[in-house]
Structure 1
């Protein structure tokens, strides 16, 4: 009996056995051996490299509140497979799990392991692994030319000059005037301006278009690119188009749950996760190849980044996930809102222990909202945001809540500057540009631009 015929016989047996123990969905690219026997297909976003940043405070899934996060189960399972050593994962835990080959759905993974094992035994090597090791990157590639934001990251690495970035949501209009007006508030104050990509699963002008508008106006944009709405073909095409329009800084995200936004009936895609998107874009930039292996006529010059969320479970595995992203190509990291200095200090302690701050610029998210009510709403409705009650109570008790919110942000920035390895701050506040610009100058990060002299 040949292997293909044997595979057709083996598939239902495999499905029954793995379905009973692991809720197997027969994806055809089994990763159980490197995900602690927790099937990634059980993840609400089908992430091959989790967890996402939206895990709830109780450890449950962003999309399925009644279900524990698959990647918490995976981490615990991997520790058990290592023999229960406290905090010690197997070497394969930090390696990237390749994206699904959707042609294999319903096929036996066992038969592929058997055939790969036979080939490797004949060649004198071990059996195939689902995880794919990736070579490490330096913070800045000295060979290729760099843009202004990349230079800012290099300058921090050399002299400690603190990086400042800010986030702006694209407009709900084809007229770019309002976007340019909002961006103009930060002239001379920031190193780059992030443009969100359907943040919160709400529809706006595309991040590629908005970032291109800013680039044409002389700004330095960071184009956020999420995996929720596009498959790997569309993602590569969009990033290539952005590069053609002068956008070289790309922040890779997995993406928010569609049920939180204004189109909850929409179909999420999640063909890739952030780690695999980084790997693919790195291949386009460094090797001049699409994910398919087909050569590009000219490679785009990209400066790739990713996100991190040290403020939600699983706390112990957040640095491992960060390391996967850096291995895959991220050279700057922007975190979720930081309202808890204790958690960021713990996170950075492990980051320093692994030397990750030397390979990527760690830029911590800081923000302000207009009231304690708005802060409570965000903590309750925005997945991945953690706000200690002490912060909310302090702002609620203030006579001027907006001013108190700014003071909290300024104090947080001063504290972050004292933490070794923190390269900068990423300022966020929905349509609150005036307050963010004020925070930048009041805490001494940058000097307010002088008004032009009148002739």
Structure 2
């Protein structure tokens, strides 16, 4: 079965994905309500896997609940919390439930989250995780033993940070992820679109993989300053912070900024990945303001 997201990539469509956080508890109602608002507005919905090392419902369970409602998920899988046996078992289970899209991630450090005393695993970082999924797709486990009950056919993606301070390191990791089997890339939060364009023209120019620029809904200047201080790699410029400070309604200004950034990205790369933590309900408004039509 080929996913709708995979078909959109093959058709060279401008891709829209959005991130939704699963619940902290057993009631998925809010997650499902938000995901329903994104139906026919995005090609796929990412369900995070313990993002920022904060405890949440498993991404596989969240993705399965979305599939039951006709919403295509991208299941985030990190190497932080499980060893190779656990990850392989989870990937087999995800595939059996109809989940096809996987975003392979290393995972945020535990000290950033709500269980800093927990024991990290990190047996597999993102490149080794991509290689593992490629093996499973070919019908073999990590030890090159045949999967006696059928191979998988997962469509894998990876993260990329075009604003990385190490250009050579960025090139090396990007190439390694392509070699390991990444078919699409979702970027970290982008604010420097000149750097994104440079990345597209110098590093990603011949990769033949869609790059989706990470667009984050900034709710206030305080929110922007918090991200700069606490999220590795985030570099929100002073000009945006000042704009939010001066705004009579900072949230409305944040919506405008996100819409403007989508329009910038349309001229540079093949899609956007929208992050509006705790306000995912505003994503349709952002898309409307950016003149992005419904998918149907």
Q: Give the TM interval when normalised to the shorter protein.
A: over 0.9
What's 1:415 paired with? 264
Question: What is the alpha-carbon distance in structure 1 between the residues aligned to residue 247 and residue 54 of structure 2?
Answer: 32
Aligned with 2:211 (options 362, 376, 380): 362
In the TM superposition, 1:28-43 aligns within 5 A as none
After superposition, the C-alpha distances for 1:353-407 in whole angstroms (9 at most, x for unaligned) are: 4x01x1x111110011211101110111011212111111111111111111111
Taking a change above 3 Å as real, the CA distance of residues 348 and 401 of structure 1, as seen in their structure-2 partners, is: same
Residues 42, 295 of structure 2: 8 Å contact kept: no
After superposition, the C-alpha distances for 1:160-219 in whole angstroms (9 at most, x for unaligned) are: x21000000110121222221110111110000000000000000011111111112211
Question: What is the alpha-carbon distance in structure 1 between the residues aligned to residue 70 and residue 242 of structure 2?
Answer: 41
What's 1:334 paired with? 186
Matching of residue 154 in structure 1 with residue 10 in structure 2: yes
In the TM superposition, 1:359-438 aligns within 5 A as 360-419=209-268, 422-438=269-285
Find the residue that maps to 1:185 and give its secondary structure: helix
Question: What is the alpha-carbon distance in structure 1 between the residues aligned to residue 292 and residue 185 of structure 2?
Answer: 19
What's 2:98 paired with? 246
After superposition, the C-alpha distances for 1:335-358 in whole angstroms (9 at most, x for unaligned) are: 0011111221121111344x01x1
Distance apart, 1:434 and its partner CA: 2.2
In the TM superposition, 1:236-315 aligns within 5 A as 236-285=88-137, 287-296=138-147, 297-315=149-167
Find the residue that maps to 2:16 and give its secondary structure: strand
What's 1:453 paired with? none
Highest Rg: 1 or 2? 1
Question: What is the alpha-carbon distance in structure 2 between the residues aligned to residue 415 and residue 271 of structure 1?
Answer: 38
Question: What is the alpha-carbon distance in structure 2 between the residues aligned to residue 245 and residue 310 of structure 1?
Answer: 34
Which consecutive segments of 4 or more residues in structure 1 shift more than 6 A?
Answer: none
Unaligned runs of 5+ in 1: 1-144, 450-455
Aligned with 1:439 (options 272, 286, 289): 286
Question: TM-score if structure 1 supplies the norm length?
Answer: 0.63
Question: What is the alpha-carbon distance in structure 2 between the residues aligned to residue 448 and residue 437 of structure 1?
Answer: 12
In the TM superposition, 1:79-158 aligns within 5 A as 145-156=1-12
What's 1:208 paired with? 60
After superposition, the C-alpha distances for 1:273-303 in whole angstroms (9 at most, x for unaligned) are: 1001101101111x11011111112111210
After superposition, the C-alpha distances for 1:247-296 in whole angstroms (9 at most, x for unaligned) are: 110000001010010001111111011001101101111x1101111111
Residues 310, 343 of structure 1: 8 Å contact kept: yes
Q: Which has the higher contact order (CA 8 A, sep 6+)?
A: 2
Question: TM-score if structure 2 supplies the norm length?
Answer: 0.96
Residues 335, 365 of structure 1: 8 Å contact kept: yes
Distance apart, 1:312 and its partner CA: 2.8
Give the count of matched residue pairs.
295
Unaligned runs of 5+ in 2: none
Find the residue that maps to 2:270 and give its secondary structure: strand
RMSD: 1.3
After superposition, the C-alpha distances for 1:86-118 in whole angstroms (9 at most, x for unaligned) are: xxxxxxxxxxxxxxxxxxxxxxxxxxxxxxxxx
Residues 319, 350 of structure 1: 8 Å contact kept: no
Find the residue that maps to 2:159 and give its secondary structure: strand
Find the residue that maps to 1:164 and give its secondary structure: strand
